[in-house]
Amino acid sequence: MASGKILGMACAALLPTCGMAAEISHDEDADGAIIFIFGEIVAGDEKKFRELSIRFPDAMVGLHSEGGAIVPAMEIGRQIRLRGYSTVVTGNSKCTSACALIWLAGSPRYLEPASSLGFHASYKDQGGRLVETGVGNALVGHYLSQLSLSDRAVIFATSASPYQISWLNEGNRTSSGIEFSMIADRIGGAPTEKKTAGKAQSRRPPPSAPPPVYIPPPVRKSPTFEESVAQLEREEPFYAAIRQNFPAENARLRSILGQGLASGNRQKMRRDLRALITPLVTSRVSRLPAPILEKFIQMSIEQTRFMQAERPGLCSEYLDGEDIGMDTFVPPSMARREVELYDEILRAKLVPAPPKMSDDEIGSALINPLTGMGKRLGLTFDEMVAAMNKQGPEVRHCQVAAALFEAVLSMPKEDGIPLLRQLMSD
């Protein structure tokens, strides 16, 4: 189960950790649940984690944090050990200080070669000076003993000063006394896990363990989660449109963004966002103001023509509204215009729903367009009806769909717009 979940978190982290309460979110796939912890650990995060973990008897916890308060971190770790969750730090993610204490609770624990995981002694800030605290180290030592870690592991986790970090990697696994599995280098773009006698083996010689390094006190804070979201909204404005106009979906939006920032898996984040956005867009199309409705139809025609020419084998899935990853292979200019149109649709003031037309009325309205289409395309009426029902060659499905929308758009607006609203509402 571990390798499947790791696939969802294996890209490099996009942004630094935030300087506020950790963003704790989750995702589920065929392999199970993934709980993400992104940002600074503060008091109250242990309650958020507990409330979320109650829902999942089994999960993997993905970490990307430069630390924080050790008391809530250790409580999160105890919950992880109690539930038997595994922990992982993937890609270029960093997990240090209190975050590393959480990672230690995993059963099993995973690291990727490019990830960073490090420990130092507990400390308190005295007027900008970091001073080691014996009480804090005693609490950490007791916590690590509860995790059944050896004395050697306790020494490794607490020996570096507050201005140093002891980095854990494949090279010092034995000397540290901390057991974990290393996720092997990527093969074909996907991470794989290799285990031999309970230990992960790298295809390259293990790197030598770096000595503790001096880390100066931070001069400025990393971007907060809210600042990171604001930057994404500037890049993709429809994120803000969802947040502003659809309160019910806002929690899901923040969860998706939090997971994307924590894992660095921008492709999965975009896929999840599309799954959130598509129903919002399609549910509004039939009630859009006429100019925006026409723009949507024109964009649909352009995309359908593209699919007909470049991906005819996917025409049925595209017309059914399935996620075929279209934004990954269409021209960038087309993808950008779609994003801008979605933003316009999500902000539009809707018009009243049109009166419902009967099937006979819709059929009568389409007789003339379909007849003209058949002559232009060289198809019989039955062939066109079959294509509209997604029968026959797939390329014809796209061909007929694009021609139908073009034919309706060419009708007088007083006839074409109501017909389009009916077609888009069915």
Whether 190 shows a pLDDT value over 70: the answer reads no
For 34, the enclosing helix (H) or strand (E) is: strand 32-38
Q: Answer whether residue 22 is part of any domain.
A: yes
Identify whether residues 290 and 406 lie together within a single domain. yes
Q: Answer whether residue 324 is part of any domain.
A: yes
pLDDT digits (tens, 9 = 90+) for 390-417: 777 777 878 888 888 888 888 888 888 8
Identify whether residues 29 and 157 lie together within a single domain. yes
Residue 103 confidence (pLDDT): 96
Q: Answer whether residue 232 is part of any domain.
A: no
Q: Answer whether residue 64 is part of any domain.
A: yes
Which residue, among 18, 21, 105, has the nearest Cα to 64 in the 3D structure? 18
Rounded-to-integer distance, Cα 266 and Cα 51, Å: 27
pLDDT digits (tens, 9 = 90+) for 258-289: 777 666 666 677 778 778 888 888 889 889 99
| Domain span holding position 155 | 2-214
Q: Answer whether residue 241 is part of any domain.
A: no
Identify whether residues 301 and 177 lie together within a single domain. no
Q: What is the pTM of this model?
A: 0.48
The stretch 36-43 carries a mean pLDDT of 88
Whether 204 shows a pLDDT value over 80: the answer reads no
Rounded-to-integer distance, Cα 384 and Cα 397, Å: 9
Identify whether residues 159 and 61 lie together within a single domain. yes
Amino acid identity of 122? S
330 pLDDT band, cuts 50/70/90, is confident
Q: Answer whether residue 344 is part of any domain.
A: yes
Average the pLDDT over each of 7-21, 239-253, 311-325, 342-356 and give the range with the smallest value: 7-21
Which residue, among 81, 87, 75, 154, has the nearest Cα to 122 in the 3D structure? 154
Identify whether residues 299 and 186 lie together within a single domain. no
Identify whether residues 55 and 163 lie together within a single domain. yes
pLDDT digits (tens, 9 = 90+) for 98-107: 999 999 999 9
Whether 290 shows a pLDDT value over 90: the answer reads yes
How many domains is the chain partitioned into structurally?
2
The stretch 90-101 carries a mean pLDDT of 89
Q: Answer whether residue 94 is part of any domain.
A: yes
User: Average pLDDT of the chain?
Assistant: 77
Q: Answer whether residue 385 is part of any domain.
A: yes
Choose one of 214, 238, 260: the last residue of a domain: 214
Structure token pair of residue 10:
């294996």
CB burial of residue 149 (10 Å; 0-12, 13-18, 19+): buried
First to last CA, the chain: 41
Residue 261 confidence (pLDDT): 65
CATH number of the CATH domain containing 204: 3.90.226.10
> Comparing 20 with 301, which gets the higher pLDDT?
301
Choose one of 175, 197, 214: the last residue of a domain: 214
